[in-house]
Structure 1
Amino acid sequence: MPNTAVNKRVHVAVGVIVNSLGDILIARRANEAHQGGLWEFPGGKVEAGETVSQALARELHEELGINIDAASCRSLIEINHDYADKTVFLDVWLVTRFRGEALGREGQPLRWVSPQSLSDYVFPAANAAIVNAIQCADVI
C-alpha cells in the first residue's frame, strides 16, 4: 500500500455529464498521460483559489468547449484513491444542463454511452466507484 504521507494529493473536479437522452459523456485519456489510454469522466485539477464549481466549469470549457449551468449541477460522490505515485481526491458532480456541443478540444476521443454500457469501458481504478454510483443509484 502506498505511503500517502509522501504522495502528492491532487484535488480533481469531475463531471458526469448527462445529455437529454440520458447518455453519459466519457473521454479517452491520452496515451502519454497518467492512466493513459483509459476512459474517464471529464474534469481536471482544482487550482489554488478556485471553488470546485469554478474548476469544473473551467475544465469542461477548456477540454470540451461546453458551458455548464452551475445551478443544475449536484454533488454525486467523493472518492479518495491512492495510486503508487499520487493520491487523488475526486469531487464528482452530476451535470444535467450545459450549453454548446461537446468536442475533444485536446484531441481526445469522446463517446456518449448509456449508464449500463459504462462497464464495457476500462477506467482508472479510482473511477470504479463513479461507475458504480451511476449504475446502482437513480442519479439520472
Structure 2
Amino acid sequence: MTLPIVLVAAAALVDDEGRVLIAQRPEGKQLAGLWEFPGGKVEPGERPEEALIRELDEELGVQVKESCLAPYVFASHAYETFHLLMPLWLCRRWNGVVINRHHAALAWVRPNRMAEYPMPPADLPLVAHLCDLL
C-alpha cells in the first residue's frame, strides 16, 4: 500500500543557554500529550520555509526571518495512514517573546534531557542530532 506523503516543517528554536523549545500536543489532536518541535504542515503552493515562518508566528507569536533558519536534519517516518517527511531547521534568532497560542504546554529543554519528554516516533531520531550539536 502506498501512503500519502505529508510534508511538515519544524524548528529547533535554540536559546542563549543551548536549550531547545519543545511543545506538547494539545488534547483532541493525533498524538495528544506528546512533545514535539514546533512547526506544521506545508500548505499547497507554500515553500517549507514559508510554512515554518507562518507556523511559528501562529503557534508561538514569534517572527522569524528566512535568513535565520538553518537547514539541519530531517525525519522520514511511516505512520499507519501517511508517511511523514519533516525537515528540521535550527533557529537562534527571532523577534518577539515566545507565547503559547496552541499547545498544551511549552518547555525549554537541553537536548540531553529530551528523553524525559515522550515524543512522537518521527521526532525521536532528531534529538540525537541535537545532542551532538549542542
Q: Is the 8 A contact 2:23 2:36 kept in 1?
A: yes
Identity %: 34
TM-score after normalising by structure 2: 0.94
Residue 111 (structure 1) aligned to one of 77, 83, 107: 107
Q: Give the match for residue 119 of structure 2.
A: 123
What secondary structure, in the 3-state scheme, does the structure 2 residue paired with 1:98 have?
coil
State the 1:129 CA deviation: 1.2
What secondary structure, in the 3-state scheme, does the structure 1 residue paired with 2:46 have?
coil
Large movers: runs of 4+ above 2 Å: none
* Residue 70 of structure 1 pairs with residue 79 of structure 2: no
Whole-Å separation in 2 of the counterparts to 1:108 and 1:93: 23
- Summarize deviations over 1:73-114 as a string: whole Å, max 9, x none: 111112210011211100110111111111111253101111
Residue 39 (structure 1) aligned to one of 6, 30, 35: 35
One-letter amino acid matched to 1:30: P
Between the two proteins, the alignment pairs up a number of residues equal to 134
TM-score after normalising by structure 1: 0.90
Whole-Å separation in 2 of the counterparts to 1:72 and 1:106: 23
Residue 133 (structure 1) aligned to one of 116, 122, 129: 129
Q: Give the match for residue 59 of structure 1.
A: 55
Whole-Å separation in 1 of the counterparts to 2:25 and 2:123: 13
Q: Is the 8 A contact 2:25 2:103 kept in 1?
A: no
Residue 50 (structure 1) aligned to one of 46, 69, 73: 46
Whole-Å separation in 1 of the counterparts to 2:43 and 2:103: 23
C-alpha distance 107-88 of structure 1, shift in aligned 2 (>3 A): closer
Q: Compute the RMSD of aligned alpha carbons.
A: 1.2
Alignment of 1:15-30 (within 5 A): 15-30=11-26
What secondary structure, in the 3-state scheme, does the structure 1 residue paired with 2:11 have?
strand
Whole-Å separation in 1 of the counterparts to 2:63 and 2:86: 20
Residue 80 (structure 1) aligned to one of 66, 76, 79: 76
State the 1:41 CA deviation: 0.4
Deviates more, 1:101-110 or 1:52-61: 101-110
What secondary structure, in the 3-state scheme, does the structure 1 residue paired with 2:102 have?
coil
